[in-house]
Amino acid sequence: MARYIFITGGVVSSLGKGLMAASLAALLQARGFRVRIRKFDPYLNVDPGTMSPYQHGEVYVTDDGAETDLDLGHYERFTGVSARQADNITSGRIYRDIIAKERRGDYLGATVQVIPHVTDAIKDFAQAETEDLDFVLCEIGGTVGDIEGLPFIEALRQLHNEMRDETCFVHVTLVPYIAAAGELKTKPTQHSVRELTGLGIQPDILLCRCEKPLPESERAKIAQFCNVRKSAVIPALDASSIYAVPLQYHAEGLDSEVLRHFGLSAPSPDLKRWDDIVDRHQNPEGEVTIGVVGKYVGLQDAYKSLNEALVHGGMANRVRVRIQWLDAELFEKDDAEIAAALEPMHGILVPGGFGERGTEGKIASVRFARERGVPFFGICLGMQMACIEGARNTAGIANASSTEFGPTDEPVVGIITEWMTSEGLEKRSEGGDLGGTMRLGAYQAQLAGNSHVANVYGATEISERHRHRYEVNVAYKERLEKGGLVFSGMSPDGLLPEIVERPDHPWFIGVQFHPELKSRPFEPHPLFAGFIAAAVKQARLV
């Protein structure tokens, strides 16, 4: 039977519960255990797919096409275990399913209530597909006491009552430092634990986020007032890098305390690969600057996986990657200003996005990279901008555009209206729900054997994750290739362009998918490793 570790947070949000869950799972994995991490999101959206990046950060897409919370990206990057639809649930999805059952009469006329119907649905989610696991870590979004989170806390209380010996509660809380007093204050942690115990849950381990070392006297005080062992009060100071967090938590005894709680013994964790990752990150042999020309640059969580994938590319090349976030809208000016902003860059990346805002600035960035020979990487919308730029400036299609931006006589990019699924040919209407009109999840692609990307991947068949509503129009393939833009990756049926490149350029690749979603610190994605290697050459570091 799988053992469950429930992770809650108190005092304030953004304490790093997701990173804590990922780090603890990595430590248990390093001891030989099989792990999976799940996220409970109390908000009423069915999923984050239609939420603004400014509201929620990036949408993380799994192989099976689920649009999920960005914390699942941390889970995958730290454990290498691919997330799936069953690993993220929201209140919206639970209530939607319950109401659908009620309308069908599945409850046989019973009154549908939070207890037992909602809490049972949450418990079913927590326990689904866990037969082959040693540990299931469940992170509850938000903070203890949030109204929308109460059904989740109640469901966990019930689970603990039903399987007491197989559950552990880890509460992540804040121990703030008051500079005027020169002291760390434990009262917020005490009040947070009191709130949690008032809901029927006594935490077993406290992870105390603090910016100063936690004195032994304060650990003892927290343990006494919060009814836990002193060894179960784990300090969690700010780390130099998120990839140093597993090592730091191990040094503080977090994984040992979890095993002690369950009465388990296990070999010491093999942390060699984490030592290597930290060494590569903290001891680079050079630095490159990458300009990311996007529309959500005011909130870096909107590009969380992209940021980490660039860091992984730097690790692969033993260089530090300095990311310069550039607002695409500011690039819709004269060429001199664009050049002034982009000339210091050793590589230019145009990421995914939706809508017309900032697209002309992205196209201008593509043109700069193409004409100046600067390594270029276009992802999703970035590939589409590369195709429109090529159409306008090298293929003689002056009015090339995307139907996403309005009516056009030259739709180089157009809406998906039909594509193949596992169930057959599925047609979607443009007027349908926004959450159901995209190509989502893992799709296969065939690479041209003599292409740059085939050399980068070391293969001619790949599988990558998609999240987009528009495609490059294959009807323009021949004309664009005459302009020097080669379609080096296609869907297996040859109808959907997946990768474009320019053989006459030092490094110019655009991809319709999101390779950043599959990059890991111990296994950097080959496209990011190759892009940073090209930036290293551009910087004349080799």
SS (H, E, C) 420-459: EECCEEEECCCCCCHHHCCEEEEEEEEECCCCHHHHHHCC
List Cα–Cα distances, 57 to 239, 272, 324, 349, in angstroms.
22, 32, 18, 19
Please tell me the predicted confidence (pLDDT) of residue 51: 84
Please tell me the predicted confidence (pLDDT) of residue 419: 32
List Cα–Cα distances, 334 to 340, 365, 376, 400, in angstroms.
10, 12, 21, 20
- Distance of alpha carbon 320 from alpha carbon 42, whole angstroms: 37
387 is catalytic: no
List Cα–Cα distances, 125 to 162, 168, 349, in angstroms.
15, 17, 38
Distance of CA 181 to the CA centre of its chain: 39
- Distance of alpha carbon 499 from alpha carbon 196, whole angstroms: 51
- Distance of alpha carbon 198 from alpha carbon 217, whole angstroms: 26
The position carrying tokens 């938590």 is 249
CB 542 within 8 A of CB 495: no
Which residue among 281, 380, 452, 498 is the active-site one? 380
Please tell me the predicted confidence (pLDDT) of residue 294: 86
Q: List the beta bridge partners of residue 511.
A: 379, 499
- Distance of alpha carbon 37 from alpha carbon 75, whole angstroms: 7
Helices (H), 232-380: 245-251, 254-262, 272-282, 304-317, 335-342, 359-372
Q: Read off the tokens for 241.
A: 């890098």
Question: Which of helix, strand or coil describes residue 503?
Answer: coil
Tell me which amino acid residue 257 is.
E
- Distance of alpha carbon 293 from alpha carbon 527, whole angstroms: 18
User: 21: part of which helix (H) or strand (E)?
Assistant: helix 17-30
380 is catalytic: yes
Overall size of the chain counted in residues: 542
- Distance of alpha carbon 404 from alpha carbon 390, whole angstroms: 18
CB 328 within 8 A of CB 293: yes
Quick one: 101 exposed, middle or buried, by C-beta within 10 A (0-12, 13-18, 19+)? Answer: middle
Q: Read off the tokens for 311.
A: 């860091």
Residue 221 phi, psi (nearest 5): -65, -45
387 CB-near residues (< 8 Å, 6+ apart): 400, 412, 413, 472, 476, 480, 485, 497, 500, 510
423 is catalytic: no
Question: Judging by DSSP bridges, how do beta strands 486-490 and 439-447 pair with one another?
Answer: antiparallel
User: For residue 327, which of 338, 336, 343 has the smallest C-alpha distance?
Assistant: 338
User: 527: part of which helix (H) or strand (E)?
Assistant: helix 526-538
Question: Which of helix, strand or coil describes residue 356?
Answer: coil
- Distance of alpha carbon 428 from alpha carbon 499, whole angstroms: 24
CB 119 within 8 A of CB 158: yes
List Cα–Cα distances, 322 to 144, 286, 314, 352, in angstroms.
37, 11, 9, 20
The DSSP result for 358-406, as a single string, is THHHHHHHHHHHHHHT--EEEETHHHHHHHHHHHHHTS--TTEEEGGGS
List Cα–Cα distances, 116 to 137, 151, 154, in angstroms.
23, 10, 10
User: For residue 35, which of 138, 118, 120 has the smallest C-alpha distance?
Assistant: 138
Q: Over its length of 542 residues, how does the chain's per-residue pLDDT go in tens digits? A: 899 999 999 988 889 999 999 999 999 999 999 999 999 999 999 988 888 777 778 899 999 999 999 999 999 999 999 999 999 999 999 999 999 999 999 999 999 999 999 999 999 999 999 999 999 999 999 999 899 999 999 999 999 999 989 999 999 999 999 999 889 999 999 999 999 999 999 999 999 999 999 999 999 999 999 999 999 999 999 998 999 999 999 999 999 999 999 999 999 999 999 999 999 999 999 999 999 998 876 677 788 999 999 999 999 999 999 999 998 887 777 777 888 889 999 999 999 887 777 788 899 999 999 999 999 999 999 999 999 999 999 999 999 999 988 888 999 999 866 333 333 333 333 444 544 467 899 999 999 999 999 999 999 999 999 999 899 999 999 999 999 999 999 999 999 999 999 999 999 999 999 999 999 999 999 999 999 999 999 998 75
Please tell me the predicted confidence (pLDDT) of residue 393: 95
Residue 20 phi, psi (nearest 5): -65, -45
Which residue among 250, 346, 505, 514 is the active-site one? 514
Q: Read off the tokens for 352.
A: 């995914």
Question: Rounded to the nearest 5 degrees, what angle is found at the Cα of 379, between the Cα atoms of 376 and 383?
Answer: 75
List Cα–Cα distances, 115 to 152, 160, 375, 507, 523, in angstroms.
11, 16, 57, 58, 44
